[in-house]
Amino acid sequence: MIGVSTDATSVRAQLENVHASLREELPGIERVAVAVYDDRTDMLETFIHSTDGDAPFALYEAKLADVPSLAELARSHEERIIGDLEALRRSPAHHTRRLLETGYRSSYTKPFYDHGELFGFVFFDSQQTHYFTDTVVRHLSLYSHLISLLIINALTPASMLRSAVDIAREMSHLRDEETGAHLDRMSRYARMIARTLADREGLDDEFVEFVFLFAPLHDVGKIAVPDRVLLKPGRLTAAEFEIMRSHVDKGVAIIDKMADSFGVGLAQHIDILRNIVQFHHESFDGSGYPAGIAGRDIPLEARIVSVADVFDALTTRRPYKEAWSNEDAFALLDDLAGKKFDADCVEALSSNRPWVERIQDRFRLTHGAFEGFHEAYLEDL
Ligand SMILES: [Fe+2]
Ligand SMILES: [Fe+2]
């Protein structure tokens, strides 16, 4: 059972290779970093970096609108050279201050695009002032192009897979809560938990980002659950419960089939996805399904997703219940910490209340859709 993708072909290892060959020509470039952009939230997230010595930051996020200099680059498609970061010491930008504190003195930044849409930024940093001369920048344009292709290729199969699932879901007339705002929120709770646990668990940005991308697919197997069970308004019989629970095995089968057709681009990260789908109904004390595994035998990505998923189910209105307050939902999760849920994941969520509220503000609760499934799910707690 694997949690974190550490194989040599991971995107991070590829970036480190590019950085190493770049340094043979341009030894003054001590850091290369990539941030990816989410146009739905206007957030910029550090994705990966390759750094000699101390990293100025990992797992950093900022709203693009709050960083006007980058927003301007995104609009103009221009690159930016800062010859002496010292001149910006009084800048309010956290990003700039951290760079200075860790010894960086000059930087080169380039936005990159996919089909005309902003995909992210590549940052090159040097500890020498005025390192980015015309000659250096000419060299770098090739490398920044290569790096942006690497990132787009790494992330596109994941988003293609998500689109494929969205289409399949629409075709199968699955009209439950697993569309829309629930997935927006729960995937962000999952990312927040992963990010909070990152230091302790040794998770890199790449792992955190893939948990976010794949969390919405946890219930993909429900596509194969018949409507008479999935959409049944009342209580499920024992036999219907069994059918409902089969969504886990059906989900794993769907993922394996899709992984085959999407090929190697996704292969490196498919374990994160498969673990989420396969183990999101396991319980920390071993009382869950389908395997009945316990504790840290349950892959971390699945422990994270189950907390994120249930928290959102509790705090949203369902046909059979009002939305619980965050306080009440945290209290229940606390009660179940160490039993149903990993206590560290619960704590990572409940210790970040302002962050939780920001996610709730950004992705307003939607009402009115038929939401039968989580009734069964909650009864199952
Ligand atoms: Fe599920
Ligand atoms: Fe869910």
Domain ranges within the chain, ordered by starting residue: 11-153, 172-379
Answer yes or no: are the C-beta atoms of 341 and 314 closer than 8 Å: no
Q: Which ligand is nearest to the CA of 178?
A: 2
Percentage of the chain surpassing pLDDT 70? 84
Does residue 133 carry a pLDDT above 90?
Answer: yes
Distance in Å, CA 327 to ligand 2 centroid: 20
- Token pair of 311, please? 């928290």
Look-up of token digits 């007339």: 173
CATH T-level topology, domain 172-379: Hypothetical protein af1432 (1.10.3210)
Which ligand sits closest to the CA of 179? Answer: 2
User: Is the pLDDT score of 376 beyond 60?
Assistant: no
How far, in Å, CA of 341 to CA of 155, rounded?
A: 29
**Count of positions (residues) in the chain:** 381
Give SS3 for 213. helix
Which residues fall inside 5 Å of ion ligand 2, going by CB?
309
pLDDT for position 368? 36
Q: Ligand 2: distance of its center to the CA of 284 in Å?
A: 18
Superfamily the domain 11-153 falls into: GAF domain (3.30.450.40)
- 312 CA from centroid of ligand 2 (Å): 8
241 burial level (CB within 10 Å; 0-12, 13-18, 19+): middle
List pLDDT tens digits, range 188-213. 999 999 999 999 999 988 899 889 98
CA of 198 to the centre of ligand 1 (A): 25
Which tens digit of pLDDT belongs to each residue from 26-45?
899 999 999 999 888 899 98
CA 203 to centroid of ligand 2, rounded, Å? 24
Q: Which ligand is nearest to the CA of 310?
A: 2
Q: Residue 340's closest CA among 256, 282, 293?
A: 282
Joined together, the tokens standing for residue 192 give 């927040």
**Cα of 175 from ligand 2 centre, angstroms:** 13
Q: Quote the pLDDT of residue 8.
A: 38
Mean pLDDT, residues 135-159 taken together: 82
| Tokens describing residue 210 | 């893939």
Confidence at 231, pLDDT banded by 50, 70, 90? confident
